[in-house]
Amino acid sequence: MSSLKALDRTADRRRSTGELHQSLAPLLPGDDSVLLIPAARHEEQARLEAEVFLGLRAVGGLSAHPLGIVRLRPESDRLTIRVTDAPYVVMCWADQLLPRLSGDPSGDPSGDPRDLITGVPGLRYHRDRGGVHLLRPGMHARITLTGFPARWWDRITDRMHRDCDGRLLQPHPGWTPGERAAYDVDSGWPFPPGPVFSPLLRRIRATAGPGTVNSTDAWSSDGGYRMEATDGPPCPDLIRLLGNGPTGAGWQVTHKRCTCRCDHEHDSCTVDFLDPATGIAVRYGNGRWGRTADQSYEERMAELNAKAFD
């Protein structure tokens, strides 16, 4: 097999995950087919990935990598994520995801238990030489973070423990009652995010445009979800990588207004997707902001990185 043909067979997966061809070549099937992106085998794995993705929606455009994700290694029973080595980005991951008490637990018992938990309910971590492992006690789900010095995570979480004054739930080896209640409420949501956003997270690099600053965001809206990129890729590329392409997520396009091939550089694009397996709609918008890592941006990021450990 020629090296060029092998490169073609891994091209879409590399574009979607950021993986290197050298690491993917041994996985190529014996026929001439392309290398697929495995789905999460277990419902809990998919749900954890989706909740992590949605929990990071406030990260914003901090680098050329959406959510600060440089590369992913998707496997059926786990997901390994290489995060950019910027202290502030790592801080955002910890701050947005690790659960802590919020509000007064002795308040109105008829209220929404999700209002009492900030972060991903039940999420815990441990770290070893393989990275920082995010998991839920008693569940077969794991996300491993790599790409940055593990001591950064310790410094950031140590500060969080001090600032949260006992509200950070990491010291609890199991689920707290409040976390379990919040988890159970989310289980009844009629538009479960797992089947939609686990495949998206496993292809998150597909949402990155060619610029030096990228941001991808998503939230629930109008009986489905909205997803936005500040400076995403050309719509035909995104549709191929998230749609019915060989490595895609199988999303169908129900409507689009695409201007990304015309001369109007700052016109936005919109694409309405439908996940046929669940009937869930995802309305995507590409703002095409034209953001760049200019001097003021670099100065701001340097300031934020310096404060990440304070």
Question: Could you read off the pLDDT of 147-198 as tens digits, one per residue?
Answer: 999 999 999 999 999 988 889 999 999 999 999 999 999 888 888 999 999 9
Look at residue 112 and tell me whether its pLDDT is greater than 90: no
**8 Å CB contact between 190 and 183:** no
pLDDT at 182: 94
Opening angle at CA 158, ends 152 and 160, nearest 5: 105
Q: What confidence category does residue 23 fall into, taking pLDDT thresholds of 50, 70 and 90?
A: very high
Model pLDDT, residue 234: 93
> Would you state the pLDDT for residue 303?
94
Nearest to 200 by CA among 25, 49, 7, 80: 49
Rg (CA), the chain: 20
pLDDT (average), residues 86-101: 96
Average per-residue pLDDT for the chain: 92
Q: What is the pLDDT of residue 81?
A: 98
* Percentage above 90 pLDDT, the chain: 77
Backbone angles phi, psi at 225, to 5 degrees: -140, 155
Residue 261: is its pLDDT beyond 80?
no
Q: What is the pLDDT averaged over residues 99-127?
A: 84
The pLDDT of residue 61 is: 84
The per-residue pLDDT for 110 is 62
The mean pLDDT of 134-141, rounded to a whole number, is: 96
